Amino acid sequence: VVVSLECDRLNTFEIEDAGFEHKKICVEDFTPPTFDQIDEFVSFVEAKLSEAKKVLVHCYAGRGRTGTMLAAFLIHRGMSADAAIREIRERAGRAYGTTRGVIEPEQEETLHQFSRRARGS
């Protein structure tokens, strides 16, 4: 299963023609996702994992939007926002040789808001 956070640059037919299930959630580059987009992402990924499917998530560079959504998923699963951001940045560092993963202050703030919302505070 492939989740694309890219808005324009991807031909979804290529993914589907290759035999992959595909979900597109358009998040503009360098911006945080909305809560509706996060909820859609989390619900979709949970459903696919419950079917024992693997999920690949990407955006254009695979750093800001991808890292933000993956951190949101970790928060959904019970991790604190700070711990989720740190985890994604560490993994991005190993993958890219950089501390990317959640790159915009607005993305980080959205994750903290999502965490407070998820915890009911």
User: Quick one: what percent of the chain has pLDDT higher than 90?
Assistant: 65
For 3, the enclosing helix (H) or strand (E) is strand 2-4
Listed by start position, the domains of the chain span 2-119
Encode pLDDT of 34-63 as tens digits.
999 999 999 999 999 999 999 999 988 767
CA-nearest of 29, 40, 115 to 72 is 115
> How many of the other CB atoms lie within 10 Å of CB of 69?
27
CATH architecture of 2-119: Alpha-Beta Complex (3.90)
Distances (CA, A) of 108 to 4, 64, 81, 121: 20, 10, 8, 17
Q: Mean pLDDT, to the nearest integer, of 4-16?
A: 84
Q: Mean pLDDT, to the nearest integer, of 10-27?
A: 89
pLDDT of residue 101 exceeding 80, the answer is no
Q: Mean pLDDT, to the nearest integer, of 69-92?
A: 94
> How many of the other CB atoms lie within 10 Å of CB of 82?
14
Sorted by sequence, the CB contacts under 8 Å of residue 111 that are 6+ apart come out as 32, 68, 71, 72, 75, 81, 84, 85, 102
Please give the pLDDT value at position 14.
84
59 catalytic? Reply is yes
The one catalytic residue in 5, 59, 71, 84 is 59
pLDDT of residue 74 exceeding 90, the answer is yes
